[in-house]
């Protein structure tokens, strides 16, 4: 099955700075890479995802890049705001083509005003 590693485990930035979280995966056949945000006491929610046929996807202040050769993908948040403070998880399907996910350990992002 798939194995996903995520770095860093914590990330502190000032409001307005950019934040980058990186993940690596093990299965070269993997083709779907979502990112979930979990605020304190709440359920994880999808914020952006990317499929293997594209190298980058953007949604306002959030972007995800994928390097299939190196088997890593990254989340980029620009102009961070205090409400971006949360735990972010990268993931990939446990098995190619299936919906169940293997998650990274998570990154706690703290944005200071």
Partner 1 sequence: KAGVTQTPRYLIKTRGQQVTLSCSPISGHRSVSWYQQTPGQGLQFLFEYFSETQRNKGNFPGRFSGRQFSNSRSEMNVSTLELGDSALYLCASSSGGPDEQYFGPGTRLTVT
- Whole-angstrom CA distances from 7 to 3, 22, 25, 62, 82 are 14, 5, 12, 17, 21
- The residue within the footprint of partner 1, chosen from 21, 50, 64, 101 (CB under 8 A), is 101
Both tokens of residue 26? Answer: 């093990």
* 3-state secondary structure at position 100: coil
- The residue within the footprint of partner 1, chosen from 74, 104, 109, 111 (CB under 8 A), is 104
Whether residue 109 contacts residue 20, with contact meaning beta carbons closer than 8 Å, is answered with: no
Decide whether 9 or 67 has the Cβ nearer to partner 1. 9
Both tokens of residue 58? Answer: 């953007």
Residue 99 as a binder of partner 1 (CB under 8 A): the answer is yes
Decide whether 50 or 111 has the Cβ nearer to partner 1. 50
How far apart CA 12 and CA 79 sit, in angstroms, is 14
Residue 73 as a binder of partner 1 (CB under 8 A): the answer is no
Q: Which of residues 28-47 bind partner 1 (CB under 8 A)?
A: 31-32, 34, 42-46
Q: Which residues bind partner 1 (CB under 8 A)?
A: 31-32, 34, 42-46, 49, 51, 89, 93-106
């Amino acid at each position: 099955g798939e194995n996903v590693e995520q770095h860093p485990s914590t990330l502190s930035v000032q409001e307005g700075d950019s934040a980058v979280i990186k993940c690596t995966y093990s299965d070269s056949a993997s083709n779907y890479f979502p990112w979930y945000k979990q605020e304190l006491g709440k359920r994880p929610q999808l914020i952006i995802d990317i499929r293997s046929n594209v190298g980058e996807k953007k949604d306002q202040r959030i972007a995800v890049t994928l390097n299939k050769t190196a088997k890593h993908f990254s989340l980029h948040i620009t102009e961070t705001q205090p409400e971006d403070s949360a735990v972010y998880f990268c993931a990939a399907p446990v098995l190619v083509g299936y919906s169940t996910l293997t998650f990274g350990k998570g990154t706690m992002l703290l944005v200071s005003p």
